[in-house]
């Protein structure tokens, strides 16, 4: 098994202040991926988005509750804890972050470099916020990214797929999978994935967004011929 890959599980926390589309299926897929990563001796790294309870060091405009505390991901509450089903094991790194990107003002990049990691499996929430920001920074820092699309979600399918299309179009080091196909790849079996060969591969107009989403979905399905 290659030793240059780590699995980054982004913000799979108990925050329940907003609806996440198909979240139970995403939890199921993350659980499968965590189990497979552990079986393959791939490091599993968790992130938690945490806002200071006294509302200090928040980005401009961060929503507050009636008591002046952060309206979501408030430090010291149950909502910032990892979902029990996906709970880290002793020794798993947990990166607490104050902004969307897991690399911003954290030790993540330094930890990955110490481990000799050059490739990241990525899943989690929200696809169009913390996942997108983290993947863009990973690309800028020189990492290759395996994004498991159906182990991510957002508040709507449109938001989820719009972020996937942005990453597929402009993150040149990315390969997108669905969970089943990634597990096949991990086990050394034939698999299908979307590895864009040129920039802006899924270019679209507002009125052709549904067709672009359909093309992306189709690219993640098993191909008729097995890969060499």
Least Cα distance to 82 among 134, 11, 144, 136 occurs for 11
Q: Are 109 and 138 in contact (CB under 8 A)?
A: no
Active-site position among 11, 128, 146, 150:
11
Q: Is 97 a catalytic residue?
A: yes
Q: Is 113 a catalytic residue?
A: no
Quick one: tokens of 19? 């609806």
Active-site position among 30, 97, 128, 146:
97
Distance, CA of 11 to CA of 134 (rounded, Å):
11
- Classify burial at 180, counting beta carbons within 10 Å of its beta carbon; exposed 0-12, middle 13-18, buried 19 or more: middle
Active-site position among 30, 74, 128, 130:
130
Given the structure tokens 């481990």, which residue do they identify?
115
Q: Is 32 a catalytic residue?
A: no
- Classify burial at 123, counting beta carbons within 10 Å of its beta carbon; exposed 0-12, middle 13-18, buried 19 or more: buried
3-state secondary structure labels for all residues of 112-179: HHHHCCCEEEEEEECHHHHHHHHHHHHHHCCCEEEEEEEEEECCCHHHHHHHHHHHHHHCCCEEEECH
Q: Are 75 and 51 in contact (CB under 8 A)?
A: yes
Return the active site residues. Answer: 11, 97, 130
């Amino acid at each position: 098994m290659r030793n240059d890959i780590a699995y980054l599980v982004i913000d799979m926390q108990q925050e329940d202040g907003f609806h996440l589309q198909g979240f139970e299926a995403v939890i199921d897929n993350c659980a499968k991926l965590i189990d497979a990563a552990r079986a393959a001796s791939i490091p599993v790294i968790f992130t938690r988005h945490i806002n200071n309870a006294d509302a200090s060091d928040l980005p401009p405009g961060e929503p507050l509750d009636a008591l002046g505390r952060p309206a979501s991901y408030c430090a010291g509450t149950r909502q910032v804890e990892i979902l029990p089903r996906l709970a880290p094991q002793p020794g798993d790194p947990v990166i607490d972050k104050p902004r969307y990107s897991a690399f911003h003002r954290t030790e993540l990049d330094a930890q990955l470099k110490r481990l000799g990691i050059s490739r990241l499996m990525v899943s989690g929430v929200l696809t169009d916020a913390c996942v997108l920001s983290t993947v863009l920074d990973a690309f800028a820092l020189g990492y290759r990214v395996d994004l498991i699309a159906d182990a991510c979600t957002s508040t709507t399918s449109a938001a989820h797929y719009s972020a996937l299309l942005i990453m597929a179009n402009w993150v040149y080091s990315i390969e997108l999978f669905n969970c089943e196909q990634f597990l096949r790849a991990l086990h050394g079996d034939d698999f299908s994935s979307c590895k864009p060969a040129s920039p802006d591969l899924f270019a679209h107009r507002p009125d052709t967004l549904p067709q672009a989403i359909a093309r992306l979905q189709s690219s993640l399905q098993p191909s008729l011929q097995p890969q060499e």
